[in-house]
Amino acid sequence: MKRAGKFVAVVGSSLLISACGGGGSGPMEPATGLISIAITDAPVDEVTVVNVQFTGVTLKPASRDEIQIVFDAPKDFDLLTLTGGLTAELLPDTVVPVGGYNWVRLAVNAEFDNVFDSYAMTPTGQVELRVPGGSQSGLKLVSGFTVTQNRSTHLVVDWDLRKALSDPVGQPGLHLRPALRITDMALFGTLSGTVAEALVIDTSCSNDLAAQTGNAVYIYSGMTVTPGDIGDADNDPFMTATVTQDGAGTYTYEVNYLSVGDYTAAFTCQASDDDSVADDNIVFSAPQSFVIEDGVTTAVNF
């Protein structure tokens, strides 16, 4: 198995950002709205804890200086305790000026410094997590959004661990790269589906059915995309979703908070072989194109 193969899997560590209308203001004061941030997640292969410690949030209005919010004390979140679209609050309702915003930056404590502020629990024990540049410059999420007085604005930021986790050679912990995406919850849908048992027991599979690892659906932006592995120069997946067996014995998957638009999906039973920092020869099922519509759950079965 390749380096970090047992430690990578889908995680949508999602940040739900919502802004709602505020009251009127005087002629010299900016109109304001409220913004809040919450976190959600999805299952992960073999890693049992992914704890990330956040220290604050910075917002950048398009026409104003940065708004920096530093927490009174660091906030720890085990991303794996939040599944199926559930959220946990990171930033409570905070008054901010209305208008367009260019980006959000999340500040984290995540370095290889023998301090287990951000860490993962793996089959070999507790290891440190390092977000390259995260402790110095933060995790900058470049995607415009607008805070208004008359409409709530909701964004979700997903952190896909299958794309993000890697095991750096000669270093003691795991790298957690900022593999992030933002969804405007004003227009989003859900993707779900099943995978035929024949696909997960194929002789080409490198999965572990007992541990429920190695099976995944890869999602790509656009129709009729030829699937590629994580890091593929031409067809890097937009995100991934872990396939697990439910109580009835059916292999299922689900993706929450997908922006409205066109996509392609493909299944692989070789996800454990997909190194997030290397080019791998991963075999996929026949890709399927689909459309995500607002408020609709779209089914794609393999």
pLDDT tens sequence for the chain (302 residues): 333 333 333 334 455 555 554 444 444 566 777 676 666 554 446 678 889 999 998 989 998 999 999 999 999 988 777 666 767 777 777 888 888 889 888 899 988 888 999 998 888 889 898 887 766 677 887 777 888 776 666 777 777 767 777 777 777 778 877 677 766 667 789 999 999 999 999 999 999 999 889 999 999 999 999 999 998 888 989 888 999 999 999 999 998 888 889 999 999 999 999 987 778 889 999 999 999 999 999 999 99
Q: What is the CA radius of gyration of the chain?
A: 20
Per-residue tokens: 136: 């110095």
The pLDDT of residue 302: 97
For the chain, the first-to-last Cα distance in angstroms comes to 25
**Are 195 and 218 found together in one domain?**
yes
**Are 180 and 198 found together in one domain?**
no
Choose the final residue of a domain: 186, 204, 229. Answer: 186
- DSSP code at position 203: T
In sequence order, which residues have a C-beta less than 8 Å from that of residue 159 and are 6 or more positions away? 11, 12, 13, 14, 79, 178, 179, 180
Number of independent structural domains in the chain: 2
**Are 250 and 293 found together in one domain?**
yes
Choose the final residue of a domain: 167, 186, 205. Answer: 186
Q: What is the rounded CA–CA span in Å between residue 21 and residue 31? A: 9
| Summary count for the chain: helices (H), strands (E) | 3, 21
The pLDDT of residue 223: 96
Asked if 255 and 191 count as a contact pair (C-beta separation under 8 A), the reply is yes
**Are 26 and 170 found together in one domain?**
yes
The pLDDT of residue 259: 85
**Are 170 and 211 found together in one domain?**
no
The pLDDT of residue 41: 55
**Are 77 and 173 found together in one domain?**
yes
**Are 38 and 66 found together in one domain?**
yes
* pTM score, whole prediction: 0.74
Nearest CA to 177 out of 48, 13, 57, 59 is that of 13
Choose the final residue of a domain: 160, 186, 212. Answer: 186
The parent domain of residue 144 ranges over 5-186
Pair type for strands 14-21 and 153-159: antiparallel
Question: Could you give the C-alpha distances from 122 to 58, 91, 95, 119, 241, in angstroms and in order?
Answer: 31, 29, 40, 10, 20
- Across 233-251, b (16+ Cβ under 10 Å) vs e yields eebebbbbbbbbeeeeeeb
The pLDDT of residue 23: 45
Asked if 200 and 209 count as a contact pair (C-beta separation under 8 A), the reply is yes
CA 127 to chain centre: 20
The pLDDT of residue 188: 84
CATH number at residue 245: 2.60.40
In sequence order, which residues have a C-beta less than 8 Å from that of residue 69 and are 6 or more positions away? 56, 57, 58, 59, 91, 94
**Are 157 and 210 found together in one domain?**
no
